[in-house]
Amino acid sequence: MILTQILQPNCVKVPVVSKDKEAVITELVDLLDANGLLSDRDVVLDAVLTRERTRSTGTGAGIAIPHGKCNGVKELVMAIGIAHEPIEFESVDGKPVTILILLVSPAEKTGPHIQALASISRLMLNEEFKQKLEQAASADEVYELLNNTENEVS
pLDDT digit string, tens, across residues 46-78: 999 999 999 999 999 999 999 999 999 999 999
Choose the catalytic residue: 13, 21, 67, 69: 67
Q: Identity (one letter) of the amino acid at 52?
A: E
Pairing status of strand 58-60 against strand 63-64: antiparallel
Residue 84 to residue 137: CA distance in whole angstroms:
9
* Residue 67 among the catalytic residues: yes
**Which DSSP category does 16 fall into?**
-
Count other Cβ atoms within 10 Å, centred on residue 93: 11
Whether the Cβ atoms of residue 81 and residue 48 lie closer than 8 Å to each other: no
Residue 150 to residue 154: CA distance in whole angstroms:
6
The burial of 76, by beta-carbon neighbours within 10 Å (0-12 exposed, 13-18 middle, 19 or more buried), is given as: buried
pLDDT at 1: 85
Q: Which of 64, 52, 84 is nearest to 124 (CA)?
A: 64
pTM, to two decimals: 0.96
Which CATH class, in words, describes the domain spanning 3-153? alpha beta
Q: Span 25-37, mean pLDDT?
A: 98
Count other Cβ atoms within 10 Å, centred on residue 152: 9
Residue 90 to residue 143: CA distance in whole angstroms:
27
pLDDT digits (tens, 9 = 90+) for 68-127: 999 999 999 999 999 999 999 999 999 999 999 999 999 998 889 899 999 999 999 999
Whether the Cβ atoms of residue 1 and residue 75 lie closer than 8 Å to each other: no
**Given pLDDT bands bounded at 50, 70 and 90, which one contains residue 154?**
low
Residue 134 to residue 60: CA distance in whole angstroms:
14
Residue 66 to residue 57: CA distance in whole angstroms:
5
Residues, the chain: 154
